[in-house]
Amino acid sequence: MAARSPSSLAPAFALAYALLVAYACLHPLTGWRDSGLPAFDWLWAPWPKYFILEDLLFNILGYLPLGLLLAAALPAQWRFARKALVAALLAGLFSFGLEALQNYLPSRVASNLDLGGNAAGGLLGALAGARWGSALLGPQGRLQRWRARSVIGGRSGEAGLVLIGLWLLGQLGATDLVFASGDLRSLLGIPAPLPFRPERFIAFDTALTASGLLAIGLFVRCMTRGASPLPVLAVIALGIGAKSLATWIFFEPGAPLAWLTPGAERGLLIGGGLLLPALLLPRLAQHAIAGTSLLLATALVNLIPENPYLPFDRRLAGFSNVFSFHGLTGLVDSLWPYAALAYLSALGLWRGEHLAAAPASAQPAPRRRARR
């Protein structure tokens, strides 16, 4: 049987990114109503005399990856102009649909300025995707070749890559807790079960950071090939970079290392000391430790007291795009460990069955007695 040729990664990435954009634009998805105004009245409204430049740039940058991924997902034999035009048109129509839906949400405002920024970002991304998308994301692209070398094959590898991307997105949330995810308490509006005391918070923060570091490190190891620790270290470094970027943007004053509390510092040392020997264990043992660490970190993040000294910049609350982004990262961060735990369980079960069947299949078939 001929080997199955690798497929482009762009369609899966484009779909996942489009779903994230849709949730961010329609957050919080409640309070739908008909305002009584014409459905597309916002489209012909005069552009405002004053607007926030950061808001416009956010709209442009938010749709740039979508345009790139859409162009890369189109047939490789299409010409540059056709791919760029179709991808830009799809991104523009997608933005138009979301802005029209925002007209029915009381917490959102449909805007032709936002539509223009999104369309511009989609066009820029489409031009880049038509030029470099196939070389990067195509069946024989650089990313596909790296994936074949470093990540387990099939849909399991693709699902693992998507989960890693979602974990990095969750680290961009406006919270001072590094490597923390699964906070259903905040998502459901449940108050903290324990009052704040400095020594209690530091102890929880230490255990949470250590277990979170161990969980994400072994999660990466379970979905990668070989024994090299570089993928694990790269994802951890990207997570720390994402958290530093978030604290620099959302905290007041902008301090990129505001997340490095005494508890987080101790947790990094303890978690790193536990992770290094765990990388030498058999894969099934790593699955078990990763799942246990993930459960522990999820329990701790729902029990840790609220930090009353969190220096969140409240001035950012007035920006609609910050509201959207914070809602998106909060949802992803809250639900990620449950999806990751299901992934680890399925992958570990498959590996366990594969290893259990290997010795039996390796044994020679019994010889039949010859008839006399």
pLDDT digits (tens, 9 = 90+) for 251-262: 766 678 888 889
Alpha carbon distance 218, 266 (integer Å): 19
pLDDT value, residue 288? 92
In this structure, of 76-85, 111-120, 323-332, the range with the lowest mean pLDDT score is 323-332
Q: Are 118 and 95 in contact (CB under 8 A)?
A: yes
pLDDT digits (tens, 9 = 90+) for 175-223: 778 888 898 888 788 888 889 898 999 999 999 999 999 999 999 999 9
Alpha carbon distance 17, 21 (integer Å): 6
Is residue 239's pLDDT more than 90?
yes
In this structure, of 63-67, 184-188, 276-280, the range with the lowest mean pLDDT score is 184-188
Is residue 364's pLDDT more than 50?
no
What contacts 179, CB < 8 A, 6 or more positions away?
A: 171, 208, 209, 212, 213, 215, 216, 239, 271, 297
List the one residue out of 337, 339, 313, 307 whose CA is nearest residue 326.
Answer: 313
Highest-pLDDT range among 23-32, 226-235, 264-273? 264-273
- Residue 319 burial (C-beta neighbours within 10 Å; 0-12, 13-18, 19+): middle
pLDDT value, residue 162? 87
pLDDT value, residue 82? 95
Provide the 3-class DSSP secondary structure of residue 9. Answer: coil
Return phi, psi of residue 236, to 5°.
-65, -45
pLDDT value, residue 136? 84
Residue 128 identity: A
pLDDT digits (tens, 9 = 90+) for 132-188: 988 888 777 788 788 888 898 888 888 898 899 899 988 887 777 888 889 888 878
DSSP structural state of residue 306: P
Is residue 368's pLDDT more than 50?
no
pLDDT value, residue 154? 80
Q: Are 130 and 70 in contact (CB under 8 A)?
A: no
pLDDT digits (tens, 9 = 90+) for 78-100: 999 999 999 999 999 999 999 99
In this structure, how many other beta carbons lie within 10 angstroms of the beta carbon of residue 299? 14
Alpha carbon distance 197, 158 (integer Å): 43
Percentage of residues of the chain with pLDDT beyond 90:
38
